[in-house]
Chains A and B, each alone.
Chain A
């Protein structure tokens, strides 16, 4: 194969799969312990936060306005 067109792989496919699998497990663990999963599983009386925006906040991160602080 021509070197200019085809590069040798500079990564280990196994390592990539392990990394992505690890991230997926973390996401799943987080989700399985969440109110949204509890709600989806039929458990009532849980507060979920699908739309998490706080429209009264003063910044996208939810910070309050300087004028409201003591």
Chain B
């Protein structure tokens, strides 16, 4: 018995099925939470909730995983996933760097200090990506798609983030310096150009690795057309070509900046959720320096429905759930039950992800994607350190019985 249903005429194509229960539940959840946000906060927050939902669908349908892209380059010597990420960074920086310096009031970029905290945090995050099975966005969208192992990763991601928030002030006192915006030193065009050169050099290195191993370079990241199905069916039920996902993610981050005043970020919400949970069981989080700083203190005190990363994460989870239902693949990744060491990898990976994200001023989205889109030096250092950490994580995966 299955709950899948063939779509009706108009949308019907042979074999096109959706998981009706999951789609209905996700739509009901979106309507309910969207209505609550509308009633209790402000229209711009509903808009960000919708952007989060679309981003969740784009991540799922585009199978846009940073973790797998990095691993494929290292293990299989295939670079399409990595090049898709580089394209995403390039397109987004072309839109957002001028936006941030256009003189529009109230826009703040994702810039952060450079120092010990950043290097250690992003390195730990890189290890955690490979053990936990996802990065910030990857963990969220796979949880939304019903992956049980990733729920474990998310729970420990939150725990690690809270621990990181308690330790961050100490790490900030270690050697480091204030944020460096490339725009301040190179101007807007110079910063965009310098970033393009940097991304181009990485793409050249990726191509070299792939060509050396396989003789040719696959260009999957440049495909525009859907494989095997019509455009409408692919749009609704996936899988999207990389280019579609790149455009949606770039537009989503730019819209987040335009509507919310700051680029897309994910992991700060995990800090807030974890800290609120600890307060419920009697821990006074305000005793810790991090939670005395203005933004964390405000977020801790007020409703999660007024916290932009939280609202967008709720949308992302439900968007990924909707996409998985439309693809008739909800919970698919949990069909083979993970055994002990794989769960242990989720626990260790989750803790490293959370702790690393807090020390590194965000995850692959908040620090890397939004950081490069803001022309901040810290994003490039984050990228390098996380990639080195990822190499260690890939080597550790076989011990945890995780396939490479």
Q: Which residues of A contact B (CB under 8 A)?
A: 1, 5-11, 13, 16-17, 20, 24, 27-28, 30-31, 34-37, 40, 48-67, 69
Contact = CB atoms under 8 A, between A and B. Distances in A.
B90 to A, nearest CB: 21
A9 B366 contact: no
Contacts of B25: 13, 16-17, 20
Contact of A60 (B1, B112, B304): B112
A36 to B, nearest CB: 5
Interface in B253-303: 261-263, 265, 268, 271, 276, 290, 293-296, 298-299, 301-303
B212 interface: no
B3 interface: yes
Interface in B34-54: 36, 40-42, 45
Nearest to B176: A66
Contact of B302 (A8, A36, A57): A36
Given A6-B2, A35-B302, A49-B301, A61 B271 contact: yes
B295 A52 contact: yes
Contacts of B108: 53, 55
Contacts, number: 160
A69 B301 contact: no
Given A5-B15, A49-B306, A58-B179, A10 B366 contact: no
A63 B361 contact: yes
A66 B295 contact: no
Given A10-B332, A11-B330, A64 B302 contact: no
Contact of A37 (B40, B262, B268): B40
A-B CB proximity, top 4 nearest: A62-B295, A34-B303, A59-B112, A49-B298
Interface of A is mostly: loop
B178 A67 contact: yes
Contacts of B32: 24
B303 A30 contact: yes
Given A30-B276, A36-B303, A53-B262, A62 B294 contact: yes
Contacts of B146: 11, 16
Contact of A54 (B295, B303, B329): B295
Interface-centre pick from B168, B263, B305 (highest chain A CB count, 10 A): B305
A56 to B, nearest CB: 8
A54 to B, nearest CB: 4
A9 B25 CA distance: 15
Contact of A58 (B3, B21, B112, B276): B112
B339 interface: no
Given A11-B330, A50-B42, A69-B172, A36 B113 contact: no
Given A49-B302, A66-B176, A6 B4 contact: yes
A9 B2 contact: yes
